[in-house]
Amino acid sequence: MNEKRTFDVLFSLLGIIFLLPLFLIITLLLKFDSNGPVIYKQIRVGLNLNNFELYKFRTMFIDSDKKGLLTVGNRDIRITRLGYWLRKYKIDELPQLFNILKGEMSFVGPRPEVLKYVQLYDSYQRRVLTVKPGITDWASIYFINENQLLENLEDPESYYINTIIPEKVNHNLHYIDHHNLWIDLKIISFTIKRILIRV
């Protein structure tokens, strides 16, 4: 087991144990807030083009993803009352600790995309699929307000495909070429700071 995987296993397990009371509270709140499962599962593309189920706390009403894959603005009408707060502070991402423990993800790495957008990658961009995807990365920090950025655009999906995806990929390729445990800790620290600023 390499250094990165050891870090992932140790801290995902500790995180799950430590956050278990919070998971239980969120489960109860979700049950009272709206109908549907507590955990939302979505197929994402991971290492070497292998698909896996990414876990999140459900923040939208049932079948909302059939109306579009992008979330536009924090007040997207598909988002539940509780879902707004879970998304704002990235709490909805915490179940991905289980993805990390299973070996499908890492704490730090390119955010996994859905197949629809991965199919648009050129051969150069597909290099982001040569490392394990993560909960956070440089691109996640840079685009932490992505939903608001898309909110007032006439064609948010076109902007996402033609502008945001290429920029995200560039950040991810830079990470692939310049990463180590110290860089990972730095990215985790910056991510936490950016989230806390929103509190």
For residue range 102-146, what is the model confidence (pLDDT) as tens digits?
999 999 999 999 999 999 999 999 999 999 999 999 999 999 888
Q: Is 187 a residue whose pLDDT tops 90?
A: yes
Tokens describing residue 30 = 């979700």
pLDDT band at 165 (very low <50, low <70, confident <90, very high): very high
pLDDT band at 69 (very low <50, low <70, confident <90, very high): low
d(CA 91, CA 44): 19
d(CA 43, CA 69): 12
Q: Are 42 and 114 in contact (CB under 8 A)?
A: yes
Phi, psi of 95 (to 5 degrees): -60, -15
| Rg of the chain over all Cα atoms, to the nearest angstrom | 16
The letter for the amino acid at 58 is: R
Q: Are 94 and 23 in contact (CB under 8 A)?
A: yes
What mean pLDDT is predicted for residues 81-105? 95
